[in-house]
Structure 1
Amino acid sequence: MALSSKKFLAMTILVLAFLCIAFVPSLVMEFLGDVPSLQRLPSSSIRKIAQHVIVKRYNSGEYILKERELAGGTYFIYEGVVEVSGQFHTHNNDSQVFEWRKFDYFTQSESIRQEDVIALTKLTCLMLPYKYSFLMDPKSIWSEDMNLETIAPVEHILSLEPLDVNTFRGITLKGAPKSNKALAAASKTVHFLKILHSFHAHFLLPGDINIPVIYQVDRLGDVCNVATRRVNAVQKERIVFFLIASFHREEEEEEGFDHQEPTMPSVPGPEEVLPKQGLEEGVKLPGHGPRGVVSTPTYVPWPTEIRPLDLKTYTRHTKRHPSVSYWLRAKGRLPDDKTLHRCVGAYFSDLLFIQISLNPHRREGMLPSSISLDHSMWFHRDFRADEWLLYVIDSPTAYNARGFSRGQMFNRRGELVLSAMQVGVVREIKTPSKL
């Protein structure tokens, strides 16, 4: 029996409503954030890709792309299964067949294809036209364009080269304190709406700053609004460092509790404190270089401004209280990426940390040594690392050659934005006795 015109119209409206709801921009962006191959991109690139993709639907058995067909675009599988088959010109001319499913993607470039792509089931794809393909190849994992003349030094320091969806390579740039980019690697394997909230790191072996580090990421878990990652930092086929990082999607403000017990110390603002060209142990600030010095592929200017509140002059041999407070911020302007700012905060936290546990034990002629064993951090609130932050560090105890330091970082409104703790081996370097 034929449907009445009213029923047909009602069904048509329902179908059109479903299609509109299913692919509103927010849901498209939600899907794209879960595509592993896109997670290495800057969040701004994913947002732009979401604006330009086109919904494509196919029936089972229908060709999406044909061999030797000219077209253009990158197809992200939203729902369904595709078969990819083609001739691989080997010595025995074998053909191979692959199946791809949700979150896989395939690209049709402007060159001639060598394989067919066929829908095995009903299929929905999001197709990014070829003219927007540049969005898939940004200059940096943090921003779409990396201009070495204007980039903030710390963004350059925390940049990585993606080798595949779970593996990254990083180098230590000259001119900057050594840094570990494992946190950045972990961040580039999660949905960009899931923000870093904690990590626990362990230092296993000394690294070599003269050779690249390979960061291997294990995707331990993705549950609703939470993701967990483990990262191994590898040099010379040995794990020299690993961390576990957790990410949490921001909740609605009315759904969470809010309180803060620690209060920011009453101290002069950073404008009232003169910069100091050195913090003795741990942080060695170089003298100002010539004007116009910029980043290069292998060099970066000193990345932070530091203004200590205690202006007394100390040396590595001066005994003092195991605490320090200073203002700091990144030089230059950073992209609006919340995870980048948290990675920079973690980088800041380690510039001068475990060394504070040595302060009560310093004396003339002593050569101190400190080596990190583990480092943990918790991020409480959003902050910008290119705006002034007050870092308050103290060391409650040292015993059995282990020092313990803890730190709290506040923004200028007095809000506690992060907490950190570190344990390390601290001891005196013994010089060989003379005969």
Structure 2
Amino acid sequence: MPESLEDLVELLDLEMIDVDLFRGRQPQTAMQRVFGGQVLGQALVAASRTVDPERVVHSLHGYFLRAGDTAVPIVYRPEPTRDGGSFSSRRVVASQNGRPIFYMSASFQRPEPGLDHQDPMPSDLVPPDDAPTLASVLEARSGRRAADWDKEWSALDVRLAGVTGRQFWIRAAGKLPDDRALHACVLAYASDLTLLGASLLPHGIVIGDRRIQPASLDHALWFHRDFRADEWLLYDQASPSASGARGFATGRLFSEDGRLVASVAQEGLIRPVGLDLEE
């Protein structure tokens, strides 16, 4: 995965190879398949580049169809499905070796005033400066060295915000340009990092446990308010259900001053492999 924020920004800078056709590069990684957040972020970049810059993404819905090959570039084809008076819609197909690996629909809106309310931000949180890093927490739970986790995820600064393991502080590990679309794409990338793990916590299992085969199946993200992905965001997660070898999880992202900036929902594969379900 990107070893620095600069590498992540470069990863999200797609190459235009034809009209409405883009190619995304691959980072160096020890992972066996492409990280879902990478495909989300790159697909959103492709869609954003075909929309009036004054229109801001407010939602996306994606399906992961096949495991991505980390050795092969990904080609993204955004389809300009609609441009109305206030909204624009795009459908993006991501392919490798001529076969689709991911579909995404995204909607963009011209900013306008309206009614406003939100859920309150959770309280009793560990402040970001006092919170343990995700790498140190995963080292303690999985036995894999923190340095190994850091190598894969060092483009992001992620810290445990609560004792339940479902709340994290998250931000880009450095300063990003003042590009609203880029901040949305970085948040899309980050939103897939810890969410599937929320559906494993009730069972005392962490991502990386070899008794579970995990994979993102679908992912939805709604953007509510302005934010910066290089400032602390609280990622508050919950898992209402797990069944049929699938786990469902939701997440809310709050700015440090308490504004609800985005909501996430995901279903993922959590197939038992050598796990005694009678335990």
Which range, TM-score by smaller chain? 0.7 to 0.9
For the 8 Å contact 1:215–1:234, the answer to whether it is kept is yes
In structure 1, the partner of 2:161 is 309
| Residue correspondence of structure 1 range 181-192 to structure 2 within 5 A | 181-192=42-53
Q: Secondary structure at the match of 1:396?
A: strand
In structure 2, the partner of 1:287 is 147
Change (3 A) 1:234 1:279: farther
For the 8 Å contact 2:245–2:272, the answer to whether it is kept is no
Q: What letter matches 2:95 in structure 1?
A: V
Change (3 A) 1:278 1:369: farther
Q: Work out which of the residue numbers 80, 93, 99 in structure 2 matches 1:232.
A: 93
Superposed displacement of residue 363, structure 1? 6.4
Q: Work out which of the residue numbers 161, 166, 169 in structure 1 matches 2:15.
A: 161
Q: Work out which of the residue numbers 209, 224, 243 in structure 2 matches 1:380.
A: 224
In structure 2, the partner of 1:261 is 119
Q: Name structure 1 gaps, 5 residues minimum.
A: 1-149, 290-298, 312-320
- Counterparts of 2:137 and 2:111 in 1: how far apart (Å)? 37
Q: Work out which of the residue numbers 179, 200, 218 in structure 1 matches 2:79.
A: 218
Q: What letter matches 2:232 in structure 1?
A: W
Change (3 A) 1:393 1:161: same
1:349 aligns to 2:197 (yes or no): no
| Residue correspondence of structure 1 range 27-426 to structure 2 within 5 A | 152-175=6-29, 178=35, 179-180=38-39, 181-251=42-112, 255-280=113-138, 287=147, 302-310=154-162, 324-362=166-204, 367-426=211-270
Superposed displacement of residue 271, structure 1? 1.5
Q: Secondary structure at the match of 1:277?
A: helix
Deviation track 1:185-217 (CA, whole Å, cap 9, x = no partner) reads 111110101011100000111110110000011
Superposed displacement of residue 343, structure 1? 1.1
Percent identity at matched positions?
39
Superposed displacement of residue 151, structure 1? 6.5
Larger radius of gyration: 1
Deviation track 1:8-65 (CA, whole Å, cap 9, x = no partner) reads xxxxxxxxxxxxxxxxxxxxxxxxxxxxxxxxxxxxxxxxxxxxxxxxxxxxxxxxxx
- Counterparts of 2:179 and 2:14 in 1: how far apart (Å)? 16
Number of residue pairs matched by the alignment? 259
Q: Name structure 2 gaps, 5 residues minimum.
A: none
Q: Secondary structure at the match of 1:355?
A: helix
Change (3 A) 1:257 1:349: same
Q: Secondary structure at the match of 1:242?
A: strand
RMSD (CA atoms): 2.8
Q: What letter matches 1:244 in structure 2?
A: S
Superposed displacement of residue 377, structure 1? 0.7
For the 8 Å contact 2:24–2:75, the answer to whether it is kept is yes
Superposed displacement of residue 301, structure 1? 7.6
Superposed displacement of residue 355, structure 1? 2.3
- Counterparts of 2:195 and 2:137 in 1: how far apart (Å)? 12
- Counterparts of 1:285 and 1:340 in 2: how far apart (Å)? 31
For the 8 Å contact 1:156–1:300, the answer to whether it is kept is no
Q: Secondary structure at the match of 1:342?
A: helix
In structure 2, the partner of 1:125 is none
Change (3 A) 1:192 1:394: same
Q: What letter matches 1:269 in structure 2?
A: P
- Counterparts of 1:270 and 1:386 in 2: how far apart (Å)? 13
Change (3 A) 1:276 1:420: closer
Q: What letter matches 1:414 in structure 2?
A: G
- Counterparts of 2:67 and 2:221 in 1: how far apart (Å)? 21
For the 8 Å contact 1:285–1:302, the answer to whether it is kept is no
Superposed displacement of residue 326, structure 1? 1.0
